[in-house]
Amino acid sequence: MVALARSPRGQPNFEDASAFRADVLAGLRAAPKRLPPKYFYDGVGSLLFERITELPEYYPTRCEMQILRKHAPDIAKLVPQGAALVEFGSGSSKKARILLRALRPLAAYVPVDICGEMIEQEALELRPDFRGLKVLPVTADITQNFPLPQPARAAPVRVGFFPGSTIGNFEPHEAAAFLRNAGCILGAGATLIVGVDLIKPVEVLNAAYNDAAGITAKFNLNLLVRINRELGGTFKLDTFEHHAFYNRERHRIEMHLASLKRQKVKVAGETIDFRAGETIHTENSYKYSIESLGALARGAGWQPAAVWTDERQYFSIQAFTLAAQS
Ligand code: AVJ
């Protein structure tokens, strides 16, 4: 998982239990209270996220897949023969598969994720379908610098792939830091292909995070279920409510869990006080315009090269090339 976000997990994540405990306690002691969205993706959370991607209101996954399918031949033109493809925070390789089918022979496909077991599993499933392709998973935190496997380093160029609008889980300054770091990892001549959710009518955004079937609410509340199970928490699920809304000033969906009453909750032996209506901020999902992401990328040393969107302009796939010096 990205230090902050990630893409859909296919499996429980295997992060250090003590990091989970420390992050949860720090977040619940803070004012306002918050929890990192990366912890949504335990086994149940990953399955709930899969269900979210199939909801009628949740457009991003469908839009991105549609753009990828429709424009794969054009996107593939940005990836020279013999390049190495590096996927950041890959989770499931569902989207990479569409690209891989359209690409000329590659030096390697390098899925990078903090959850090692999952990408190893994905690699096992990918290899028989792409015979002759070197699939070289790397277990790493994509917000940090990490070494690429030798065949990827030896390739004439490297192309990054960061789908799923995972970039939207970062604060804008963190997104810029990620882009700069990706430039360092990929090196001279690199291209970066990023899937980004776009600013759109507020009703569409609000509906996508407040689905009628209540799956997003379950996904959000599952964080408390996980804390109860893994950290001996005493959260009563029926005393917290899912709140999700678009913050127009900051161009982001915010997700919160609101305490319906004044109460005390125990977590890892510590008592946490809640006022009636007090919330835990569990996620930001930033929305960009083509221009605003372009400006952010330029600031991080990348030159906008191409953009693809769906007809409604709900979602975008944006390509950048590394500026000569940055
Ligand atoms: C996987 C971070 C892109 O922000 O839309 C879906 C996660 N949260 N519904 C998003 C999510 C609530 C999703 N990302």
Tens-place pLDDT, residues 61-76: 999 999 999 999 999 9
15: pLDDT strictly greater than 70? no
pLDDT class of 325 with cuts at 50, 70, 90: low
Residue 60 CB less than 6 A away from ligand 1:
yes
Cα distances from 195 to residues 6, 35, 66, in angstroms, run 13, 24, 12
73-125 per-position pLDDT tens digit: 999 999 999 999 999 986 778 999 999 999 999 999 999 987 788 889 999 99
| β partners of residue 108 | 84
Residue 64 CB less than 6 A away from ligand 1:
no
237-288 per-position pLDDT tens digit: 999 999 999 999 999 999 999 999 999 999 999 999 999 999 999 999 999 9
Q: Cis ω on the peptide bond leading into residue 56 (within 30° of 0)? A: no
The stretches of the chain forming alpha helices (DSSP H) are 17-29, 43-53, 60-76, 94-102, 116-126, 150-154, 172-186, 202-208, 215-231, 290-299
pLDDT class of 37 with cuts at 50, 70, 90: very high
Q: Considering only 8-12, 154-158, 183-187, 274-278, which range has the smallest mean pLDDT?
A: 8-12
Task: Specify burial of residue 40 (Cβ count, 10 A radius: 0-12, 13-18, 19+).
Answer: buried
Nearest to 314 by CA among 58, 80, 120: 58
Nearest to 188 by CA among 45, 9, 12, 323: 323
pLDDT of residue 2: 36
Tokens of 319: 């390509």
Residue 195 CB less than 6 A away from ligand 1:
no
* Nearest-angstrom CA–CA distance, 320 and 78: 10
pLDDT of residue 5: 35
pLDDT class of 46 with cuts at 50, 70, 90: confident
Nearest to 326 by CA among 182, 224, 161, 143: 182
Residue 185 CB less than 6 A away from ligand 1:
no
50: pLDDT strictly greater than 50? yes
* Nearest-angstrom CA–CA distance, 167 and 300: 14
* Nearest-angstrom CA–CA distance, 39 and 106: 34
Q: Report the chain's mean pLDDT, rounded to a whole number.
A: 93
Distance 220 CA to ligand 1 centre (A): 10
Residue 283 CB less than 6 A away from ligand 1:
yes
139-149 per-position pLDDT tens digit: 998 989 999 99
Atom of ligand 1 nearest to the CA of 208: 9
Residue from 285, 287, 315, 316 whose mutation best tests the ligand 1 pocket (most atoms within 8 A of CB): 285
pLDDT of residue 93: 85
Residue 46 CB less than 6 A away from ligand 1:
no
